[in-house]
Every structure is written in C-alpha cells, then in structure tokens.
A and B are shown apart, each in its own frame.
Chain A
Amino acid sequence: LAKTTQPISMDSYEGQEVNITCSHNNIATNDYITWYQQFPSQGPRFIIQGYKTKVTNEVASLFIPADRKSSTLSLPRVSLSDTAVYYCLPGSGAGSYQLTFGKGTKLSVIP
C-alpha cells in the first residue's frame, strides 16, 4: 500500500480557494487516487477519484501530475461548511478493496 503524506492542518478564509496536496511516492501503476471528506461525528464521504491529469466534479477538482507521485485536491471558494478532515487514499486498484486512510488534513474555514 502506498504511504501518504499530507499536511496535518490548514486554515483558510471563506471564499478562498484551498489546495491540499498529498504525496504518495510509491503509488502502484494500477492505483487510483481517491479523496474522502469527514465531518465531526459523521462517517467519511467520497469526494472525488482520479487516475491521472485532472478530474472535476461539482464539489472539487483533483490534479495529478504525470509521475503520479502526488495529487492536489482543490476546493473552490470554501465556506464554513467545508470545515472537515480530508483524506487522500491512493489504492483501490484492480482487485483491491481496502481503504487506507492515514491521519488526513484538518481544514478549518474562518469567517
């Protein structure tokens, strides 16, 4: 399983764009990169998943460079409700099912 490194915490003001970068140097060829969000007293929630280049959905964008050794989750114009822990999970390649969460990045959005 690929080991990940993320900032432990980040602060941002409302309305700003937030970028959270995750390093995963030994990602396997068939691994996808998935990001989950977890609010207090809730289970994690899937945000976005990608394999390479850029993926965008209604919630976030995911940027993955060509070497795939890192990925960046981009949250446009954050609001107070985006305050949560964000987890980067490389893995879930073909035949895999186990999600390895790590400690995540605690994002605090300040009014």
Chain B
Amino acid sequence: GAGVSQSPRYKVAKRGQDVALRCDPISGHVSLFWYQQALGQGPEFLTYFQNEAQLDKSGLPSDRFFAERPEGSVSTLKIQRTQQEDSAVYLCASSSRAPNTEAFFGQGTRLTVV
C-alpha cells in the first residue's frame, strides 16, 4: 500500500483482556516506531525497531506491553491484561532510515478499555 496501515482502527477491550494491534509499514522502510497518544496530548514514544531488531523499548510503560517485528516488516504491539489507563490511540510510524528523516504515521488504533 501507499502508506502505513494499522488494524483494527478501533478496539474495545474488557479490563484484563489481551489485545494485539497490527502495523503494516511502508514497503522497504527499515525503521518502525510505536507511539501512544492519550486524549489531548502529543504522541509519546514506546519502542523502535530497525528491521527485526528492537533497538529501544524504553518507552513501554510496563512489562504488560510487548512489541515484535519478526521478519522486519509487519509489527504487532501486544498488551496483556489491559487496564483502563491503557486506553489511548496507538500510532505506528515507519521511515526509510532513522536519523534526520521523515516518519510516516498510520491513522492509529483507538483502544478503549472498559
């Protein structure tokens, strides 16, 4: 596709449920990022992949959050035992190379934990 694709667009989860959010980056993009955006706030960094290697996961809020990119293309962000404070928009971005380069964002997945 022409842009970064995320699915699902909307997800409602019951507290305690596990969820998986998918990101299809732009073909050939080496770098992939996940961000979390709370209502009324700017996006906050979660994690960064270069190809299949997760080089930085310093932004993941707890060990309930896990991200993978096993073949260096599609990525999945998994949240275990969801809690209400996990409710946010989760944004995926990709870029052709990391430093000083334009990042292309998907439309995000809006997660609501009830």
Contacts and interface: CB of A to CB of B under 8 A. Distances in A.
B42 A101 contact: yes
B3 to A, nearest CB: 9
Interface string B80-114: 00000000000101000011111111111000000
A111 interface: no
A103 B106 CA distance: 19
B56 to A, nearest CB: 7
B31 interface: yes
A98 B56 contact: yes
Contacts, number: 59
A37 B91 CA distance: 14
A79 B106 CA distance: 24
A49 B103 CA distance: 12
Interface of B, helix, strand, loop or mixed by DSSP: loop
B50 to A, nearest CB: 8
Contacts of B4: 43
Interface residues of A, number: 23
Nearest to B40: A103
Interface in A71-111: 85, 87, 92-104
A98 B47 CA distance: 9
B41 A43 contact: no
B100 A104 contact: no
Interface in B17-38: 31, 33, 35
A46 interface: yes
Contact of A43 (B40, B102, B105): B105
Nearest to A100: B45
